[in-house]
Amino acid sequence: MLDQTRTPIFTALKRYVEEGVLPFHVPGHKQGRALPEFKEYVGERVLAMDLTCMPDLDNICNPRSVIREAEELTAEAYGADHAFFLVNGTTSGIQAMILALCNPGDKIIIPRNAHRSALGGLILSGARPIYIEPEINHDFGISMGVTPEKVERALNEHPDAKAVFIINPNYYGTAPALKEIVEVAHRYNVPVVVDEAHGAHLKFHPALPLSAMEAGADLSAVSAHKLAGSLTQSSFLLARGDRIDPKHLKAVLNISQTTSPSYILLASLDVARKQMALWGRQLLDRTLEIAHFIRQELSGIEGLRVLGEEVIGVPGCHALDPTKITVNVQDLGLSGYEMENILRREYRIQVELSDLYNVLLLISIGDDWEMARQVVKAFKDIASHRPVKNVVRFCPPLPAIPRMSVLPREAFYSQTRSIELEYAEGEISAEAITAYPPGIPLVCPGEVITREIIDYVNLLKKEQADLQGPEDPELKYIRVLKDTVSLLEREAISRAGRA
């Protein structure tokens, strides 16, 4: 057992600042001397802590002292064999996981609603995605998790896949049957890598869904800054088992992550880990009490519906993180976007996200009872001024996943042209179009645009849904590939050559 009261990086950083070292090294602001206006606002100490790699502060590319000790403490706290500190966000962790496992052309089984950082990993690695559809909750218009049955079906069809990529939990707090998925994948000796951006707190309370490491996954990228208290852009990459070489994983990180890490971010990871390891259970006890109070109060307001335990056990949702509070506001005659604007403009409350139907409140160890009472009061006040309506917003079933014509990497590097979406049927898309709700791409780079997709986009535009991805925010135009030989054509040529 390691001493979880230690904070190696933070302690070394404080020692450096307290020694009053004269800095003839980067960063060039020299402890804030070159940035007086900023220094006056944020304070002298935080700028004195903005340091770089040096002997007594270790080196993130080849850690041997304080960073190495801090990562070992984190691995133990999270039940992993290895931990790596990330200062390029969980995005860098997700991309490193894919790069570490997939060579160009290798298959990876991946949910269709994976974060855009996963698409970046596909482009960088040249991997071939085998998409599986997540389940959909039509009442709230949100995507949930994938099922073990769909994962097994994909592995049966693609036993040569190099990895299974899973989200645990998703943005709305729904968690898949991760332990069962891991068991399925490991029967095929395929590693499971997990986007755990919203799961940094899971390990530290039994009332929360299983964490990736607890479920037996091989890798997970964890946003400590979202729910474990560290600063924005700071994350962990966790590894366990022998399916992945930790030295190779570190080598991948060294080519994708900065060589000049922010020591303020590193120190915040160090302290956040200590806090969760020592007092996570108590902190989360209070957080869960606050979340339960908000859920109970909002559920009693006419015109609001709160995503709750009724979804546990339905396909795609094995467990629910109650600290994510999804509030459907349709019956108030509002879209989630409108509700977000009202809360911010009139009550100075900012929600985590909004979509066509819902707003999402994120409750963390940083919330207190006064904040909880204020947000409940705001919702009650808004609802009291709006008559309840029977509002139906049109959200038809998603189109079928289109045929992949070229790999995402090839689509990214190909020459492209911009055409009107209305006339893009049969073209190969160079962009992704993702519809919110339910947060699932309609088309990804390298896939053939169908008439069904074009019609669906037009319907959602009429509903004022959020459509993200293309360069053209109006989505009148879309970028498509010029003169490219499709993946299927290339495979046919290759078969003919072998014959």
Question: Could you tell me what percentage of the chain is helix, strand and coil, using 3-state DSSP and rounding each to the nearest 5?
Answer: 40, 15, 40
Average pLDDT over residues 125-154: 95
Q: String of b and e for 85-121 (b: at least 16 CB within 10 Å)?
A: bbbbbbbbbbbbbbbbbbeeebbbbbbbbbbebbbbb
CATH number of 8-277: 3.40.640.10
Residues in CB range of 420: below 8 A, 6 or more apart: 476, 477
Strand residues in 258-303 grouped as ranges (E): none
What does the pLDDT look like over 37-52, one tens digit per residue? 999 999 999 999 999 8
pTM reported for the whole predicted model:
0.93
- What's the confidence (pLDDT) of residue 491? 62
Average pLDDT over residues 2-24: 95
Q: What angle do CA 432, 166, 445 make, to 5 degrees?
A: 15
Q: Count the Cβ atoms, other than its own, within 10 Å of residue 3.
A: 8
Parallel, antiparallel, or unpaired: how do β-strands 174-175 and 319-320 relate?
Answer: antiparallel
- Higher pLDDT among residues 422 and 435, named by residue: 422
Among residues 329, 384, 383, 371, which one has the least CA distance to residue 354?
A: 329
84 forms bridges with which residues in the sheet? 237
280-384 architecture in CATH? Alpha-Beta Complex (3.90)
- Whether 392 shows a pLDDT value over 60: the answer reads no
CB 379 within 8 A of CB 304: yes
Element (H, E) at 480: strand 477-481
Measured on CA atoms in the order 225, 230, 231, 235, is the torsion positive or negative?
A: negative
- What's the confidence (pLDDT) of residue 395? 61
97 vs 93: CA distance, rounded Å: 6
Helices 263-299 & 369-384 angle (0-180, nearest 10): 50
- What's the confidence (pLDDT) of residue 270? 98
Largest CA distance in the chain: 74
- Whether 486 shows a pLDDT value over 70: the answer reads no
Q: How confident is the model at residue 487 (pLDDT cuts 50, 70, 90)?
A: low
What does the pLDDT look like over 217-257, one tens digit per residue? 999 999 999 999 999 999 999 999 999 999 999 999 999 89
Q: Which CATH superfamily is domain 408-498 in?
A: Orn/Lys/Arg decarboxylase, C-terminal domain (3.90.100.10)
Q: How confident is the model at residue 371 (pLDDT cuts 50, 70, 90)?
A: very high
- What's the confidence (pLDDT) of residue 492? 64
Separation of first and last alpha carbons in the chain? 60
3-state SS class at 29 = coil
Residue boundaries of the structural domains of the chain: 8-277, 280-384, 408-498
204 vs 313: CA distance, rounded Å: 23
Structure token pair of residue 89: 């966000």
- Whether 296 shows a pLDDT value over 90: the answer reads yes
| DSSP calls for 303-372 | T-EE--GGGTTSTT-SEE-TTEEEEE-GGGT--HHHHHHHHHHHH----SEE-SSEEEEE--TT--HHHH
Average pLDDT over residues 139-150: 94
Parallel, antiparallel, or unpaired: how do β-strands 107-111 and 163-167 relate?
Answer: parallel
